[in-house]
A = this chain, B = another copy of it.
């Protein structure tokens, strides 16, 4: 049986194609810096937005029209598995991601929930045997059900902590069984509504205890996927503990967890925290902590997580620049944590939106690689910081100077007359030029 019968396999047709069901720029086999696009970009589909999401918002119920809308409960869950693999394969993406709660209905009781999950995991396992699609990461939903209303591992209720542990334990077992390459922790309720009722110190200590126990259990069962923290500053919680990459770093260092975790950086979470996407990627990269990416975009004029499909070519270019400089994403990938707008309720929109996002990252990757190949920014930066390669600058970097020597140097020069323009405007024009030239070469190819 087919759920998307009117859609054929999505293929690369090139920039001149007018077929809305074709890639114009994403060519899986095309080489970028010795890798295929498929290997470099490692796209993943989010199960929640694409198969569980209904298009509801705080002021409206769901609008999505899906081929399994007539089903409910476990029948619905099973149909979604079938539909999802048809979708992954028609789209040609190598990966997908899910929360336990996405694939199977959560029940009020833990035992029933775990049973539901097992039934669906069996089905997924069957598909994975025959499909080329793989599981990028799974995670445990610990934010939707009322039991999490004050947090999971940071709940003031120890029973909730235990319940959370059982969910993550199961999640790690599923990850092991399905070959997940990572396990993600997004603490949507790990934070506070008001400090008036919150013991922030205890909550953070407990969160660290939870992570240590999780790692111990992963080791015990031989799950060697990468642990990832996904920072977000707020929403739904007023203040979320994993505010941004830097806040996560402070936490991980304090609790001796820095060797266990990397970050899953989300573009929209970055902007909600007051950063650019590339800033968060850079911060993770220079600390050796860039693990994976939730590829989406926010609306800079809206104050919540809009989770739009990524179409801004500046963002995909500068994001891919960091990723390529990082040597790729390792076991991570570009997961479309993105949802079609409530007004884009057709099944076709699911395809259009993924194509839009994949083409946007393909363009970004090509532009970024050309910027790197031509050393446009590297040469500028090398020249800009050249003073640290000789003389007093080199002594600074090598730790061979002190305030006495530096003062003597400063008094010798006595005033600064060798600052250079930062050339921000010219560099931005250069990025535009590279967009243009890359696209022209794409188009003419």
Please determine whether A444 and B442 come into contact, CB atoms closer than 8 angstroms.
no
Residue interface bits A386-425, CB-to-B below 8 A is 1, else 0: 0110011100110101111011011101111011111111
Please name all residues of chain B whose beta carbon is closer than 8 Å to the beta carbon of A407 when the two chains form the complex.
Answer: 162, 165-166, 169
A295 beta carbon closer than 8 Å to chain B: no
A30 beta carbon closer than 8 Å to chain B: no
Please name all residues of chain B whose beta carbon is closer than 8 Å to the beta carbon of A205 when the two chains form the complex.
Answer: 397
Find the residue from A198, A250, A342 having the highest chain B CB count within 10 A. A250
Please name all residues of chain B whose beta carbon is closer than 8 Å to the beta carbon of A158 when the two chains form the complex.
Answer: 387-388, 391-393, 396
Please determine whether A60 and B301 come into contact, CB atoms closer than 8 angstroms.
no
Please name all residues of chain B whose beta carbon is closer than 8 Å to the beta carbon of A250 when the two chains form the complex.
Answer: 246-247, 249-250, 253
Please name all residues of chain B whose beta carbon is closer than 8 Å to the beta carbon of A188 when the two chains form the complex.
Answer: 59
Which listed segment binds B: A31-39, A73-81, A90-98, A427-435? A427-435
Please name all residues of chain B whose beta carbon is closer than 8 Å to the beta carbon of A157 when the two chains form the complex.
Answer: 387, 416, 418-420
Please determine whether A20 and B426 come into contact, CB atoms closer than 8 angstroms.
yes
Please name all residues of chain B whose beta carbon is closer than 8 Å to the beta carbon of A85 when the two chains form the complex.
Answer: none
Which listed segment binds B: A116-124, A177-185, A302-310, A327-335? A302-310
Please name all residues of chain B whose beta carbon is closer than 8 Å to the beta carbon of A213 when the two chains form the complex.
Answer: 401-403, 406
A235 beta carbon closer than 8 Å to chain B: yes
A148 beta carbon closer than 8 Å to chain B: yes
Please name all residues of chain B whose beta carbon is closer than 8 Å to the beta carbon of A384 when the two chains form the complex.
Answer: 156, 197, 199
**Nearest chain-B residue to A389 (Cβ)?**
B158
Residue interface bits A340-359, CB-to-B below 8 A is 1, else 0: 11111110110011011001
Please determine whether A197 and B312 come into contact, CB atoms closer than 8 angstroms.
no
Known A143-B60, A311-B428, A421-B348; judge A301-B286 contact (CB<8 A): no
Count residues on chain A whose CB falls below 8 Å from chain B CBs. 162
How far is B58's CA from A384's CA once the two chains are assembled, in angstroms? 26
Please determine whether B61 and A145 come into contact, CB atoms closer than 8 angstroms.
yes
What are the nearest 6 A-B pairs in CB distance? Answer: A303-B303, A158-B393, A300-B300, A440-B443, A165-B406, A343-B422
How far is B392's CA from A206's CA once the two chains are assembled, in angstroms? 13
Residue interface bits A1-35, CB-to-B below 8 A is 1, else 0: 00000000000000100001000110000000000
Ordered by A's residue number, 16 sampled pairs between the chains whose C-beta atoms are within 8 Å are: A59-B188, A63-B149, A149-B342, A149-B345, A158-B396, A161-B392, A169-B404, A193-B341, A200-B286, A205-B397, A244-B247, A275-B301, A302-B303, A340-B424, A439-B443, A440-B443
How far is B236's CA from A271's CA once the two chains are assembled, in angstroms? 19
**Nearest chain-B residue to A251 (Cβ)?**
B246
Q: How far is the CB of A390 from chain B (nearest CB, A)?
A: 9
Please determine whether A436 and B15 come into contact, CB atoms closer than 8 angstroms.
yes
A131 beta carbon closer than 8 Å to chain B: no
Please name all residues of chain B whose beta carbon is closer than 8 Å to the beta carbon of A234 when the two chains form the complex.
Answer: 274, 301-302
Residue interface bits A139-171, CB-to-B below 8 A is 1, else 0: 000011111111000011111111101101100
Please determine whether A149 and B343 come into contact, CB atoms closer than 8 angstroms.
yes
Residue interface bits A200-241, CB-to-B below 8 A is 1, else 0: 111011100100011011000000000000000111101100
**Nearest chain-B residue to A163 (Cβ)?**
B410
Please name all residues of chain B whose beta carbon is closer than 8 Å to the beta carbon of A439 when the two chains form the complex.
Answer: 435-436, 439-440, 443
Please determine whether A110 and B233 come into contact, CB atoms closer than 8 angstroms.
no
